[in-house]
Amino acid sequence: MKNIIKISSFFFLLITSFSCNKSFLEESPLALIAPDNLYVNKAGFESGLYGLYSQWREERKGINGSSNDMAITAAMVGVDNAYSLRPAGNAPEQVFNDFGVRLNSTDAYVRRVWEWLYRIVNGANTIIDRAENPSINWTDKDKKQIVGEAKLIRAWAYRHLTFLYGDVPLNLTESKGSSIRTDWDRTPVADVRKAMEADLLYAEANMSDLPLVEGRASKVVAQHYLAELYLTTGDFAKAKEKALAVTQNTNYSLITARYGTQASLPGTPFTDMFLDRNSNRSQGNKEALWVVQNEYLSTGGDANIMRRWWVNRYNDIRVGNPLRNPLTFSQEYGGRGLGRFAITKFALSLYGSTDHRGGSFAYRFFYLMNNSASLPSNANINSAATCATPGYTSGPTGGRIGIDTIRLSINCDEPAPNATAAPNWPSIRKWDWAPSDTADVQNSSNYNDQIYLRLADTYLLLAEAQFRLNDLTGAAATINIIRARANATPITSAQVTLNFILDERSRELITEEHRRYTLLRTGTWYTRTLLNNKYAGPKIVLRDSILPIPQSVIDANLTKKMPQNAGY
């Protein structure tokens, strides 16, 4: 009986349920913040909304507050353009290198992601339901704005849930202590997406054109996700309409000229967007549609681990005879990296020779030795480079190569996970960050504001819609807008294929987009991962296209059998 109570309580935390009017279970908190005393005025609803945004920001944090298990791992690696270079034991990134028996219904990560997303659904449901209280003193506009943001985030959560788990329980009402259900059904994905569409259309109709506060979403975010949703469901004309609504909005535009904190230094317009203090509209970034707020040592600031995961552990590089460590963590090199995630050789090979997105301002192809206490006796250490090949040592756009340089190259195969050569593999620079205080340069997390969603992504959704509508000329013109900013060679309509669009999305959005979702909605995850991911590709099977339903959820559905996904 004790175990049944534990399971039922656990399931209550995962998904919301309908009231059955058992008043003895209703709480009346007097000395703490709870829905009954929070959602009584506009300020209370805004506080609840900010709590919802805090849960949204957890995507780039460690799952359940851990500093070592990235919440969104399943959407980022185990795909065609990324794998785990340095997995840690049974950590999530190891699961998405190996798949097979590691990916199972009792895996802690599979359960924790489910819990996190349903907590968000529950928080959104509470705001949406309680906004209908007629005694709240606010304007209709204020109410609809807040409800619109809550519905947007609810749709965002179900977007994750459907791509990750397939059919999932759909619940659109607030959870209360008086209502615990143990007879949930898994709602077909098509029906969940209809609910998502309704939420996003409401958000589009009622949210502001620009974010009310930096970090909050605006209606263009809803329009962007509607475009993606319609591509997923095959409504290509609607997808084009929503993508055009964003790309033609004059409040937003691609970054095509140098700007911001390092505009006077060498760089490119594309890479300027990812530099510290260049992410927000107030800082000159009109391409950003949604920005994660993470100010360092500030009230309400939050952390994420993008830099730890995508920046390589370069201080492990050893050169010379005897072997020495000529590098130490620095702000210049992005701070302390763990290198848990890495770019596949396939993805690195996609760029043309002039493409800024594949150049040395976008990727780390070399390091200048900075550890004077441990320099090799012979500073010319070209022989220490991994498969170094003349002509491709610093990236297509050039860069400094000298006698005190460690050169990296993509002209060899990916290093095996946990291999001693792993620190020498090129890593992306989008998430470089370390505080200016050198005493804290090894800080475990990022605290800088970061782009979450940007206009270039919408342009590529538009190009995909045009391609699906057989407008190859229009698709090529749209893609060329993106390529022109990157100094890449223009393409012709004859070159537009689905694979080209997917390659272009990787070139532009690698480490930003949820790559698994892009490949799943285009029906290409299995074939492209099999072909282009050296480690995960040979191990995947078709069942791996979705995750298993957590066993704890199935066990908690005591009065109705909940089916497991096929193959698990």
At 244-256, the pLDDT tens digits run 999 999 999 999 9
pTM for this model (two decimals): 0.90
Q: What is the mean pLDDT of residues 61-87?
A: 89
**Quick one: tokens of 184?**
């949930």
* pLDDT at res. 303: 84
pLDDT tens-digit map of 287-315: 999 999 987 766 566 788 899 899 988 88
Concatenated DSSP letters for 151-177?
Answer: HHHHHHHHHHHHHHHSSB----S---T
Beta bridge partners of 343: 82
- H or E element: which one contains 429? none
Mean pLDDT, range 404-432, rounded to an integer: 76
Helix (H) or strand (E) holding 148: helix 140-165
**Structure tokens, 461:** 């959704």
How much of the chain is in helix, strand and coil states, percent to nearest 5? 45, 5, 50
pLDDT, residue 210, reads: 96
Looking at residue 20, its amino acid is C
- Mean pLDDT value of segment 519-531: 98
CA 540 – CA 166 distance, rounded (Å):
18
> Are the C-beta atoms of 115 and 15 separated by less than 8 Å?
no
Look up tokens 């992306």; give the residue.
Answer: 428
- DSSP characters over 231-256: HHHT-HHHHHHHHHHHHT-TT-----
Is 15 a residue whose pLDDT tops 50? Answer: no
Residue 410 has pLDDT above 60, yes or no: no
> CA dist 36 to 176, 183, 466, Å?
11, 27, 48
pLDDT, mean of residues 533-542: 97
- 161 has pLDDT over 60: yes
- pLDDT band for 376, please (50, 70, 90 cuts): low
Residue with tokens 């329980």: 169
What is the mean pLDDT of the segment spanning 545-559? 96
- In this predicted structure, the answer to whether residue 391 has a pLDDT above a threshold of 50 is no
* Backbone φ and ψ of 292, nearest 5°: -80, 130
Sign, CA torsion 196/197/203/204: positive
Task: Decide if pLDDT at 199 tops 90.
Answer: yes
Q: How far apart are CA 531 and CA 504, in angstroms?
A: 17
Check pLDDT > 50 for residue 5: no
Q: How many residues does the chain have?
A: 568
Q: Long-range contacts made by residues 482-486, C-beta under 8 angstroms, separation at least 24?
A: 482/254, 482/456, 482/508, 483/355, 484/256, 485/254, 485/255, 485/256, 485/269, 485/270, 485/456, 486/268, 486/270, 486/355, 486/356, 486/357
Angle, helices 498-509/472-485, rounded to nearest 10 degrees? 20
In DSSP terms, 62 is beta-bridged to 70
Gyration radius from the chain CA atoms? 24
How many CA atoms are closer than 13 Å to the CA of 228, on its beta-carbon side? 25
86-95, 143-152, 355-364: least confidently modelled range? 86-95
473 vs 64 pLDDT, higher one: 473
Predicted local distance difference test score (pLDDT) of residue 383: 34
**Banded model confidence at residue 11, pLDDT cuts 50, 70, 90:** very low
The β-bridge partners of 304 are: 446
pLDDT higher than threshold 70 for residue 30: no
Q: Parallel, antiparallel, or unpaired for β 366-368 and 450-454?
A: unpaired
Whole-number Å distance between alpha carbons of 70 and 304: 9
Cα-based distances in Å from 16 to 133, 157, 169: 20, 14, 9
| Tens-place pLDDT, residues 114-131 | 999 999 999 999 999 999
pLDDT at 152: 98
* pLDDT-wise least confident of 172-186, 398-412, 536-550, 553-567: 398-412
* Mean pLDDT confidence for 104-111: 96
Q: Residues 87-108: what's their mean pLDDT?
A: 92
Residue 435 has pLDDT above 90, yes or no: no
Residues 537 and 261: their CA atoms lie apart, in Å, by 41
Q: Which two tokens stand for residue 53?
A: 């945004």
With a cut of 60, say whether residue 463 has pLDDT above it: yes
User: What tokens appear for 150 in the block?
Assistant: 């809550």
Q: What is the pLDDT of residues 184-198, one digit of tens each?
A: 999 999 999 999 999
pLDDT value at residue 411: 59
pLDDT of residue 295: 77
Q: What pLDDT, on a 0 to 100 scale, did the predictor assign at position 300?
A: 61
The pair phi, psi for residue 102, each rounded to 5°, is -65, -35
Report whether pLDDT(380) > 60: no
Token pair in block for residue 84: 């785990």
Average pLDDT, the chain: 86
| Peptide bond before residue 211 is cis, with ω within 30 degrees of 0 | no
- List 366's β-bridge partners, or say none: 407
Percent of the chain scoring above 90 in pLDDT: 67
**Strand (E) or helix (H) holding 395:** none
